[in-house]
A and B are shown apart, each in its own frame.
Chain A
Amino acid sequence: MSLSKSEIERYQRQLLVDGWDQERLKSARVLIVGVGGLGGISATYLAAAGVGHLRICDSDSVEQSNLNRQILFTAEDIGKPKAALVARRLSAQNPEIEIEAISNKLTEANVSGLASGCDLIIDGLDNHSDRLKLNKASFDLNIPFVYGAINEWLGQLSLFNPPQSACLACLMPEELPSLKPTPVFGALPGVIGSLQATLALRYLLTGENPVSNALLIFRADSMTFETVTFERRPGCGVCGESCR
């Protein structure tokens, strides 16, 4: 897949980056589920970087309480569907790529169809239950899964690509009690969404997983990063021995 003159000009600064392969990015297909605080940021950077096909899924419409952190939206967008808005904004930012907007809610029944044909899945969700559905589809379809989550002053992320690594259910197999609404300020999903995008680009460019079997935790109150390592669980209900 060759690059046009316009693409070479658009991407000239990143083409200087050691190991960069723009044609590889151009041929990549990525599913982003949820385009709020986290997913809106990762979608923006993947679009700007020239990932060739983005499939954006979000069933929500913009609410006023989103505007402290979901910086792709304005007050005029309140009540409008997020997926279509993000697709329109990112297409304007980078008309060289294809963006597919899907305004459906993620379910066990549709998750495999949503992910099918993609090279990578990015989590922009706001609850653990739906993340476990994405994780299962990731394992079933053998598509790596970039996980990210935030709460108050804490953010965390990883990349799961079993069988090479553990999966999300090896780490947190159960539903998590969640606070509604989640306490969050805008810069935190900005940081974690940017790290998810960085991890995704690194994986798409090289196939490497620098956080295999590791959870990267950012503590915004102390401005510290911490890495917690873990192992694949033989009894995991998703990627364990009985599931292979």
Chain B
Amino acid sequence: MIIYLRAGGQLREKLKPDVDHYTRKVEIDGEKTIAEILKDISVDSAFVALIHVDGKLKDLSFKPSDGQTITLQPPVSGG
């Protein structure tokens, strides 16, 4: 199945977007957690501060379904 990972900030460069400036299309075999998907594409989950899908907070154990867009929020800590 196909899912879409979206990221801004410094995480965007690590994600290597290929759909648009922020989004990477990822093909996965069967059900996988976000943690497993990030490992497969060599993105260190330590740089992911928040994960959200359709306006709801998720965590690294979330298993996306076909066609879903998952937003990965980088650490936002400045002031």
Contacts A228-B56, A230-B57 given; does A149 touch B77 at CB 8 Å:
yes
Determine the distance from Cα of A219 to Cα of B9 in the docked complex, in whole angstroms: 10
Contact partner, B50, options A34, A155, A228, Cβ 8 Å: A228
Contact partner, B76, options A123, A149, A226, A230, Cβ 8 Å: A149
Determine the distance from Cα of A229 to Cα of B56 in the docked complex, in whole angstroms: 5
**Most A C-beta atoms less than 10 A away, residue of B73, B77, B79:** B79
Q: How far is the CB of B6 from chain A (nearest CB, A)?
A: 11
Contact yes or no, B75 A221, CB < 8 A: no
User: Quick one: closest A residue to B49, CB to CB?
Assistant: A176
Report if A87 contacts B (CB, 8 A).
Answer: no
Contact yes or no, B78 A151, CB < 8 A: yes
User: Quick one: closest A residue to B52, CB to CB?
Assistant: A228
Residues of B42-58 at the interface with A, using a CB-CB cut-off of 8 Å, are 46-47, 49-50, 52, 55-57
Contact partner, B79, options A150, A215, A219, A228, Cβ 8 Å: A150
Contacts A36-B79, A182-B78 given; does A151 touch B9 at CB 8 Å:
yes
Determine the distance from Cα of A145 to Cα of B47 in the docked complex, in whole angstroms: 25
Residues of A119-133 at the interface with B, using a CB-CB cut-off of 8 Å, are 123-128, 131
Contacts A179-B10, A228-B56 given; does A128 touch B77 at CB 8 Å:
yes
Contact partner, B46, options A38, A151, A153, A177, Cβ 8 Å: A177
How many A-B residue contacts, CB cutoff 8 Å?
81
Determine the distance from Cα of A227 to Cα of B56 in the docked complex, in whole angstroms: 8
Contacts A154-B8, A177-B46 given; does A39 touch B79 at CB 8 Å:
yes
Determine the distance from Cα of A226 to Cα of B49 in the docked complex, in whole angstroms: 16
Contact yes or no, B78 A150, CB < 8 A: yes
Q: How far is the CB of B39 from chain A (nearest CB, A)?
A: 18
Report if A144 contacts B (CB, 8 A).
Answer: no
Report if B17 contacts A (CB, 8 A).
Answer: no
User: Quick one: closest B residue to A153, CB to CB?
Assistant: B8
Extra 4 A-B pairs, beta carbons < 8 Å, given A183-B78, A221-B8: A128-B75, A131-B77, A149-B76, A177-B75
Chain A residues packing against B (C-beta within 8 Å): 34, 36-39, 123-128, 131, 148-156, 171-172, 176-179, 182-184, 189, 215, 217, 219, 221, 226-231
